[in-house]
Amino acid sequence: MKRLDQVLASDGTSAELELVIKDVMVACKDIAYKLGQGDLAGILGTTEDENVQGETQKMLDVISNDLLKDILCANPYVKGVGSEEEDFTIAANNDGKYLVTFDPLDGSSNIDVNLSVGTIFSILEAPADNRPGSEQEVFLQDGRKQVAAGYVLYGPSSLLVMTTGNGVNLFTLDTNIGEFVLTKAQLQVPEDTAEFAINMSNQRFWEPEMKQYIDDCLKGEEGPLGKRYNMRWVASMVAEVHRILIRGGIFMYPYDSRDPSKAGKLRLMYEGNPMSMIIEQAGGASSTGRMDIMDVEPKGIHDRVPVVLGSKNEVAKVVAYHSK
C-alpha cells in the first residue's frame, strides 16, 4: 500500500506543500494517540476558558490546537495559521509560502461520550506580493483558492481524507508503522441520496425554504420528493461528511434566526471551505442554499456560513427550494 508521501509525490505535489501536509499529519497522529488514551491520560473534560466562538474549550481542544499551531509555526514554508481556537491569525515565517487554517478538534462535544471527532485543515498560498496589510487579510481568500484540504476522522480507525485538487483519496493510519496508507483512491459521492443530516431541534429557527424542504422529505413516498428519507445526526461534521463521501447523503447546518448577526453555526475558512473542496473534488456539491460556498468572499477569519453539501442532485433540490 502506498504511503501518503508516495501518493503526494506521484500527484505532483510540491516538496514544500508536502512538508506542510506532513507536519499536519504529525500533529494529527499525536492527537489520535491522545484521544485513544482519553481518561487514562486525564485529558478529558473542559477547561475554564471560552474560545472566540463563545464555546467552552475542552482540554483536548486546547491540546490539539497547540500541537498543530506549534508544529506549523515552526515549518519554514508556513507564513501563518488561523484556528477556530485562536482569536486572531498567527504570523509564522515571513518568507513562508502557505497559510493553514484548521479546526483542531471538530465535534469536540462528542469527546466525553467517546464518539467520533476530527481535525479539519485547509491550505492557501500566501499572496506573493507581500502587500502591506493586516496579517489576517492575506487569509481572506475564497475557497476556490485552496491548494489542499482534508480532514482526519478519529473513529474506530483514524482516517485521512484529502485533496490537492486531483480528486479525493482516503488513507488509513497503520499504527504498526505510524503512517497513513492509501486505502481508497478517487472517492466519488453518489449523485443521489435518500438520507439527510440536520439538527431537527433547530427547526423553528430555520428559513421557510429549509422548513419546506425538510417537511417534504418527511412526507416520504407520497410527498413531492417521492421517496422515503432516512435521517442521521452525529453532531460531528467530519463524521457526517465522511459518511456522505462513502455512501451519499446531504448534510445541512442552515442559517437560523437564533443569532441574526451570524450567517450560521459553521465557519467558512476552516469548516465550510475545506469540506466543500473535498465534496466538489469527489463529484458532490456544496452550497449556502443560494450560492456555492467556495464562491463566498470571506470578510474575517471566523466568518460563519450556512452549509448544504453532499450528493449533487439532492443539493440541487435544496437550492431549487431556495430559489422559488
Distance CA 313, CA 309 (A): 10
CB of 23 to ligand P6P, least distance (A): 23
Q: Which stretch binds ligand P6P (CB under 6 A): 72-80, 229-237, 291-299, 315-323?
A: 229-237
**For ligand P6P, which residue of 82, 107, 150, 298 counts as binding (CB under 6 A)?**
107
Q: Which stretch binds ligand P6P (CB under 6 A): 13-21, 26-34, 105-113, 309-317?
A: 105-113
Distance CA 16, CA 97 (A): 8
Q: Is the sign of the CA dihedral 40, 161, 198, 191 positive or negative? A: negative
CB of 235 to ligand P6P, least distance (A): 4
Q: Does 203 bind ligand P6P (CB under 6 A)?
A: no
Distance CA 147, CA 160 (A): 17
Count the residues of the shown chain that bind ligand P6P, applying the rule CB under 6 A: 10
For residue 53 the three cell numbers come to 466562538
Q: Does 37 bind ligand P6P (CB under 6 A)?
A: no
CB of 201 to ligand P6P, least distance (A): 8
279, 91, 121: which is closest to 189 by C-alpha? 279
Distance CA 172, CA 210 (A): 36
| Residue numbers 72-101 binding ligand P6P by CB under 6 A | none
CB-closest chain residue to ligand P6P: 237
Q: How big is the CA angle at 52 (ends 238 and 261), to the nearest 5 degrees?
A: 85
Cβ proximity of 32 and 158 under 8 Å: yes
Q: Does 109 bind ligand P6P (CB under 6 A)?
A: yes
**For ligand P6P, which residue of 18, 23, 61, 106 counts as binding (CB under 6 A)?**
106
Phi, psi of 256 (to 5 degrees): -140, 160
Q: Does 115 bind ligand P6P (CB under 6 A)?
A: no
Distance CA 285, CA 292 (A): 8
Q: Does 210 bind ligand P6P (CB under 6 A)?
A: no
Q: Is residue 245 packed enough to be buried (19+ CB in 10 Å), middle (13-18) or exposed (0-12)?
A: buried
| Residue numbers 248-267 binding ligand P6P by CB under 6 A | 253, 265-266
Contacts with ligand P6P, residue ranges (CB under 6 A): 106-107, 109, 199, 235-237, 253, 265-266
